[in-house]
Amino acid sequence: MDSESGHLKTDIGGTYTIQKDVDPVPDADDHFGGLRLSIDAGRSLTSTTDFTSKVVADQNLKETDDLRVDWTNSVAVSISAGLALKVSHQLLYDHQPALVSLPLFDTAGTPSGTNVPVVGDTVDAVLSVALVIKL
């Protein structure tokens, strides 16, 4: 759907993932088929301000607990005919986050020289500000 004041686009498709983790899980399957759904929506809020929202969900079909979602919301404000300021907030959700290797410390706070695997965060957030050049 596309109009003068906004747009809405959806996609659905199959995927095949080959995943190579930095700290791999022993005996984990790193190849799998999946299903991807995306929604891309945008709307002009004023003559100089646009809002966009994009969400992409990836579902692992081999292990259905493995769901990942990437959701980004942005507001762009025109500064001039050729420049805009864009602020975006991105949320990254991973129901089964990768392992992260962290150093192990003794009770005195001294590094022991050993690293231990720890499960990463389920949700990560990214805030970005960009100066956009319109060509």
Which pTM value belongs to this model? 0.81
Identify the pLDDT of residue 20: 81
Phi, psi dihedrals of residue 64, rounded to the nearest 5°: -70, -10
Identify the pLDDT of residue 98: 83
The pLDDT tens digits along the chain (135 residues) read: 999 889 999 999 999 988 887 777 777 778 899 999 999 999 999 999 999 999 999 999 998 889 999 999 999 999 998 999 999 999 999 998 888 888 999 888 888 889 888 888 999 999 999 999 988
Identify the pLDDT of residue 91: 98
Tokens of 29: 């399957």
Question: Closest Cα to residue 75, out of 94, 54, 49, 48?
Answer: 49
The whole-angstrom separation of Cα 135 and Cα 84 is 11
Identify the pLDDT of residue 135: 86
Tokens of 26: 């022993």
Alpha-carbon torsion angle 94, 21, 13, 92, nearest 10: 30
The whole-angstrom separation of Cα 109 and Cα 127 is 33
DSSP tag of 122: S
Identify the pLDDT of residue 39: 98
Residue tagged 């493995």 (tokens): 66
DSSP 78-121: ESSSSEEEEEEEEEEEESSPPEEEEEEE-TTS-EEEEEEEEE--
Identify the pLDDT of residue 131: 96
Is residue 35 helix, strand or coil? strand
